[in-house]
Structure 1
């Protein structure tokens, strides 16, 4: 498979994943689908913007670079038909590494927050983290410790789980592009664009 075509496929997959991550993080600001009067009552991990920055903004740039690789001029320098394409593939490797870091950041934040559980209103009318060491994950009866906002525990768990899965998939896709980009840098794409008299394989 052409390294450029492979990168374009990966880029097209990263775009909707970035949107999902961005939206999931936005929804976390409304626990249980409710507006919170005091932002201090939101879980701290929400403010780390794992989905907005890590799986969202930092993923858009690699995705756009990957999508543009297929249309890159492969006759870029010194009369060497593959020079421009190989440089583009090398650049995509750098952006892919940035994507791995961004997705990894979102993944770690999500994992920590799932393990910690949400901040919620307790029976003694205080806001705190009632769960310890992920105990609520295997015992739904513990969810009753949170008296508000309504459905805050499943809301928190579902959205951070989405971010966890999105981050994991993004890390895998960007890691694939790191390998794909290195292959493209060393070997060139499978075909040239036809300029400079080169119509055959690079």
Structure 2
């Protein structure tokens, strides 16, 4: 997969985009920055496309990408390649979670743009006055929403931003998914379990070294095994014998 520094930057980017998506979903509960009753809040706010889809579910891959810098240096069975393989598999799993979340957030944002905002149309009724996105091509329909003020630009600003964030999250998670799959496949060949049926390689035997006392090579290679030149061997300790006593002293 891509370098841990690159993945770390992508994780930080996902984290900020997820927080912005959650904030946008919260703003939907206040149409036109006005506090209204629950029945006047648009349905898209309760479906939590930005709060859960492009928000909370994106926090999982973002946190994994931020931690890959630490996971990449630890191996299993004292083998660093296995740590990289398992961290790549971890990124693959949570990239799938991010793809699902961003797809849901994107679908809800596009549907909200197509449907239009929920607003007051007169007669004490709050409903969706637009049909099949007609307000997107003809601005004269905007006057059908009498309140809150500027609700149509407010609605479009939130969901266009939400759709752009969801597309960016989808692209990042898809890139990390492909990168993680490649990293898992190619690095896993270096793990111990990939070669568990094969005997471990035998280390080559060391070549014999010359140890002759008169050899200069032997003296250079193994100086501690050879006696120092010019010094005689140390004398051995002689234990004195007991003197012989005359037979007359034994009586």
TM interval, shorter chain, is: 0.7 to 0.9
The structure in which a higher percent of residues are helix is 1
Distance 1:7 1:188, change over 3 A: farther
- SS of 1:148's equivalent in the other structure is coil
Query: Aligned runs of 1:35-54 on 2, under 5 Å?
Result: 35-36=35-36, 38-54=37-53
- Residue 126 of structure 1 deviates from its aligned partner by 1.1
What's 2:25 paired with?
Answer: 25
Equivalents in 1 of 2:72, 2:142: separation in Å?
Answer: 57
Larger Rg: 2
1:83-102 CA distance string (max 9 Å, x none)? 01110111111101100000
* CA deviation after TM superposition for structure 1 residue 79, in Å: 3.2
Q: Post-superposition shift, 1:74? A: 3.7
Distance verdict in 2 for CA 1:33–1:72, change over 3 Å: same
What is the aligned residue count?
188
**Secondary structure, in 3 states, of the residue corresponding to 2:122?**
coil
Q: What is the TM-score when the length of structure 1 is the normalising length?
A: 0.88
TM-score by length of 2: 0.71
* Stretch moving more, 122-131 or 90-99: 122-131
**Structure 2: stretches of 5+ with no match in the other structure:** 189-251
Deviations 1:164-191 (A, max 9, x none): 11001100000000011112212349xx
| CA deviation string 1:117-172 (max 9, x = no partner) | 11111033311110000000111111100111111111111101111110011000
In structure 2, the CA distance between the partners of 1:65 and 1:71, relative to structure 1 (3 Å rule), is same
Structure 1: gaps (5+ residues): 190-202
- Which ranges of 4 or more aligned residues in structure 1 deviate by more than 3 Å? none
The DSSP-based 3-state class of the residue aligned with 2:58 is: helix
- Backbone CA RMSD of aligned residues: 1.6
- Return the structure number with greater relative CO, CA threshold 8 A, min gap 6: 1
Q: Which residue of 1 aligns with 2:247?
A: none
- Offset at residue 59 of structure 1 (A): 0.7
